[in-house]
Amino acid sequence: MGALRSRPVMASAGMVSKRLRTASQLVWVAALLASGCGGGGGGGGGGGGGGGGGDSAPATALPTVAVDSASYAPGSPQRLAYDQLNAARSRCGFGLLAQSAPLDQAAAAHGNYMSLNSEFGHGEVPGKPGFTGATPLDRTRAAGYAARAVGEDLSAGGSFSGSTAADAIRNLMAAPYHAQSLLTGFRDVGLAWNVVGSLNTLTADLGVPVSAQFQSPQGVATFPCAGTTDAVPRGSNESPSPFPSNPDAQWGQPVTVTGPDSLRLTSATITSPSGPVALLVIYGSGATVDPNGAFTDGWFSVIPEVLQPSTSYAVAIDYTVLGTPGAARFTFTTGPR
């Protein structure tokens, strides 16, 4: 498997390997910063707590349950990625993303830049072939998207989970910080698929327009959730690493949990047909402090040891919201790889 690289950037005013590289960048626009959403430190969802509700978060709306049909060609990489991401978000209560032509344009432009220059990453250098903007925010603005917030996720090459555009989304969802980024309360998405060097590369640009609010799950939501049948058994090499003292660490599909800022986990277990699964760590407020500062303000990551392929796992999570107890119980299944 390759490496994941996640680097949030606040707007005021990856995995790196031979087989897979992914990167995530989240940009909050100045108006949001002024409203009190400061975002996090190192995670792809850095400020992702904004989608979870609470006094310090931007205003939120209920999850989107219907969007216009996407125009991506059936079977195309963009359509595979779009369907994979929206299926996961919808099933687990995070709301659908609408296809955005300006975000498609921004994603395609950056994919073209990376292809022309054989460079992988979020930045662009003026004067180089294909330059359209130094940052994801610059590029989405150049494409005509008036953003309240934007995010960008990149994935290049294959992985333990496969090499299609749908697999790229699955793999990102198996990395704690990238899962948080993709589950944040964006409203729109644009996708592109390019060859960078010799690697097929997915560019996903996400945004909330200034005319809309973030969408937020009702109550407490998780990914995976009941009905998830293609979770990735093994992840590794995310940067910043969820295990800074062990850069070679591997883990199983994380369970991402989000809710109001007052959410606290009191217990979490994952059980396989053969017995309890060891948990490597639980990051979040009141649990282990996330070394990269992303899992806070109503976001948690329950990270188990490497899981088995094609296996069902029972999850039991107990929590409180403003001191009132609640629970989540569900079963998810890993894919064959």
Q: Which residues pair with 302 in a beta bridge?
A: 255, 282
pLDDT value at residue 289:
97
- Of 1.10.357.140, 1.10.10.10, 3.30.70.920, 2.60.40.3780, the CATH number of 219-336 is 2.60.40.3780
Rounded to an integer, the average pLDDT of 97-113 is 98
* Higher per-residue confidence, 201 vs 70: 70
Q: Is the dihedral of CA 156, 199, 83, 142 positive or negative?
A: positive
Residue 268's pLDDT is 98
Q: What is the structure's pLDDT at 25?
A: 64
Q: So what's the pLDDT on residue 233?
A: 97
Residues 91-101: pLDDT tens digits? 999 999 999 99
Four-way CATH pick for 61-217: 3.40.33.10, 3.40.50.300, 3.90.700.10, 3.10.105.10:
3.40.33.10
What percent of the chain is modeled with pLDDT above 90? 71
What is the reported pTM? 0.84
Determine the pLDDT at residue 159. Answer: 53
Q: Which of 41-55, 80-94, 169-183, 264-278 has the lowest mean pLDDT?
A: 41-55
Residue 324 CB-half CA count within 13 A: 5
Question: What mean pLDDT, rounded, does the chain reach?
Answer: 84
How many Å from the N-terminal Cα to the C-terminal Cα in the chain?
12
Q: Region 9-22: what's the mean pLDDT?
A: 32
Specify the pLDDT at position 58: 58
Q: How far apart are CA 240 and CA 294, in angstroms?
A: 11
Return d(Cα 2, Cα 250) in angstroms, integer.
Answer: 11
For CATH 2.60.40.3780, list the domain ranges present in the chain: 219-336
3-state secondary structure of 330: strand
Cite the DSSP H helix spans in the chain: 30-34, 77-91, 101-117, 136-142, 165-173, 176-183
Q: With contact defined as beta carbons under 8 Å apart, do 304 and 270 qualify?
A: yes
State the pLDDT confidence band at 264, using cuts at 50, 70 and 90: very high
Which pLDDT score, from 0 to 100, does residue 157 have?
Answer: 75
Which tens digits make up the pLDDT trace of 126-180?
A: 999 999 999 999 999 999 999 999 998 888 876 555 679 999 899 889 989 989 9
φ/ψ region of 122 (left if φ > 0, alpha if ψ in -120 to 50, else beta) reads alpha
Contacts of 69 (CB under 8 A, 6+ apart): none
Tokens 């293609």 sit on residue: 230
Q: Where in the chain is the domain with CATH 3.40.33.10?
A: 61-217
Helix (H/G/I), strand (E/B), else coil: 52: helix
Residue type, 230: D
Q: How far apart are CA 21 and CA 168, in angstroms?
A: 10
pLDDT for position 34: 25
